[in-house]
Chains A and B, each alone.
Chain A
Amino acid sequence: MSQAEVRKGRYKMGRLEKKNTLIAYSFLAPNFIGFAVFTLIPVICAVALSLFEWGGGDISRLKFVGLDNYATIFAAKKVAEKGIGYFFGRADLGIALKNTAFYTVVTVPLTIVCALALAMLLNKIRGAVFFRTVFFFPYVSSMVAICVCWSFMLMRNGPVNQFIMALGIDFNKGWTADSTMAIWSIILVSVWRNMGYYMVLYLAALQGIPRELTEAATVDGANKWQQFLHVTLPQLKPTTFFVSVMMVISCFKIYDVVAIMTEGGPGRATKMLVTYIYDEAFVKNRYGQASAISMVLLVIVLAITIIQFSSEKKFSND
């Protein structure tokens, strides 16, 4: 083979490769252009915006302020004066973080217990499809409708309080208007709405447990509870880990329920990270500061994601 022919061959390969790449790009283009403009660029700009100040109006009004936004949201001056207690006790961000963390810490285990219990009950029973649909239904029904329904039901003279009174407990406060109960009403609605979703994940995982394992336990004389504790639960570990990570992330992003049921109140009792972002940006027109808060959210979510990735191996191997 002469050198010219080899070169020609190479040239041909190059052209073919080029053609293939072009075809591939033509497949990607419709989605990628939209994705780049509306997602990728904003993601890249997100950090930058937190260093600017913008009160609406023209884009040219963006003003570089460095780390000022962060100093404001972390209440740097006051914290330096009065200590870290001020941040968690008084500063908006501290309170939003505290509320969000409390909500997460309560909601995640509660939802997991409910979802797992439902899945265990539904596993290998007739009529499972019907019940599965019922338990899943709250998850697809629209937020505004179910939140307003719940907030009516939780009113001072609503059906929930009537039920509680019928049990002989003296309780006649409106849940969403009471500063200690408000966050619990949000937790209640969240657990009720999401348990069906995670139940589906658990059901899938339960079906993946090899039958021999439970049978062997039965032969060894283990009762149902022991079986659950020593066979089923360890087998579900990867799912539980995955579910909790997903749920923690979605808990930190909570907005809808709060916005519809309590609007962050009463006072700041249910102020969450995202409701805080919304208020700063779209009510008070402080976009730079709101961006700085959303960076706090980003750091939290990314940290959780990184923890997930680094421990995924450990959990899926046993």
Chain B
Amino acid sequence: METSVHGREIRKDNPVLRRILRVIIWILLIALAVFTLIPFFWMISSSLKLDREVFAFPMRWIPETYHWENYSLIWERVPLLTYFKNTAFIAVMVTLLQTLTSSFAAYAFAKLNFRGRDVLFLCYIGTIAVPWQAYMLPQFIMMRSMGLYDTLWAMVVLQAFSAFGVFLMRQFYRSIPTELCEAARLDGLSEYGIWARIMLPLSKAAIATLVIFTFVNTWNDYMGPMIYLTRDMNKTIQVGLRRFIQQYSSDYHLIMAASLCSLVPVSVVFLCLQRYFIEGIATSGLKG
């Protein structure tokens, strides 16, 4: 009896209370969003200033005059274009190879019966648990003796065959009913045909997740290129930017302009495909 009275009371003053609460939450969220984005605002504002204005007191969020020429200057000072090209090459190659080979392998793990399947899969899973930093040294020594040191291909082969991709795709393929494959087999489709005509079209969402994961991770990778790429002509945008920072350490405005440029490609990809990215994380819960 009492509980129902309580319930009615709560329901009665709910509309007003709820509206107030909602407004408070909105204000809070906007404040937090501004806080989260402050570094990016500061980056934009500083990139349009003169170097001595960046740390002026009191600081100005909006520059007195906009120095757009900063953005043309950086392309002359550092081979940014080369860095961009290298990074794009690595990111695209890794993404392509990774998606193709791992969806291929995942099909075997998810839908085919063969000897040694569980042992092989265990090998894959096992290496996910091993941090890369624990085996990067033997890997480095091996790659060096293979003559891959300081080549872009080193970065490609290092990341193109990760266990993570196989695992992600296999989990998805397992959710596709096996009856579909069996029906196709009865219709005379080969296994390759089933993969190409049934599994691939059905796994668009998973592939989108894998593509954007791989692309963002390779684009932002720092330690790998740091170890493997030493010649300037081979550097990726991350290590190139780092070199630029060390060389022109007091040209704050130019550093900010170059940093902002390095953010653009990955931001565009993220904003276009963010649904897949965020949903992919929510369902797989795995870190790339």
Contact = CB atoms under 8 A, between A and B. Distances in A.
Interface of A: 20-21, 23-25, 27-28, 30-32, 34-35, 38-43, 45-46, 48-49, 54, 58-59, 118, 121-122, 125, 127, 131-138, 140-146, 148-150, 152-153, 155, 157-159, 162, 192, 196-197, 200-201, 203-204, 218-221, 242, 246, 249-250, 252-253, 255-256, 259-260, 274, 277-278, 281-282, 287, 290-291, 294-295, 297-298, 301-302, 305
Given A28-B108, A144-B262, 8 more contacts: A21-B114, A28-B120, A43-B135, A131-B33, A149-B43, A157-B57, A277-B137, A298-B134
B274 interface: yes
B108 to A, nearest CB: 4
A70 B135 CA distance: 17
A291 B138 contact: yes
B131 A159 contact: no
B186 interface: no
B191 A23 contact: yes
Nearest to A250: B287
Contacts of A294: 133-137
B39 A121 contact: no
Interface in B94-152: 97, 100-102, 104-105, 107-109, 112-115, 117, 120, 123-124, 126-127, 129-143, 145
A24 B259 contact: no
A59 B141 contact: yes
Nearest to B14: A218
A290 B32 contact: no
Interface in B36-72: 36-37, 39-40, 42-43, 46, 54-55, 57-59
Given A157-B57, A159-B59, A221 B137 contact: no
25 contacts: A21-B114, A25-B114, A34-B101, A34-B157, A35-B163, A125-B22, A133-B271, A137-B37, A142-B237, A142-B266, A144-B238, A145-B43, A145-B259, A152-B54, A157-B57, A204-B283, A219-B4, A220-B3, A249-B131, A253-B132, A274-B133, A281-B140, A297-B133, A301-B129, A301-B130
B178 interface: no
Given A121-B29, A140-B216, A294-B133, A159 B42 contact: yes
Given A131-B33, A149-B42, A141 B281 contact: no
B281 A200 contact: yes
Nearest to A62: B141
B3 A260 contact: no
A153 B136 CA distance: 33
B270 interface: yes
5 smallest beta-carbon distances between A and B, as pairs: A34-B161, A204-B282, A145-B259, A27-B108, A24-B114
Contacts of A20: 112-114
A34 B131 CA distance: 18
B89 interface: no
Interface residues of B, number: 100
Contacts of B158: 38
B81 interface: no
Nearest to A50: B137
Contacts of B161: 31, 34-35, 38-39
Contacts of A159: 42, 59
A38 B115 contact: no
Nearest to A59: B145
A20 B117 CA distance: 12
Interface string B175-206: 00000000000000001000100000000000
A200 B209 CA distance: 15
Contacts of A200: 278, 281-282
Contacts of B4: 219
A121 B21 CA distance: 11
Contacts of B163: 35, 39
Given A46-B138, A54-B141, A59-B145, A142 B262 contact: yes
A131 B158 CA distance: 35
Nearest to B154: A38
A188 to B, nearest CB: 11
B245 to A, nearest CB: 6
A24 B117 contact: yes
A34 B6 contact: no
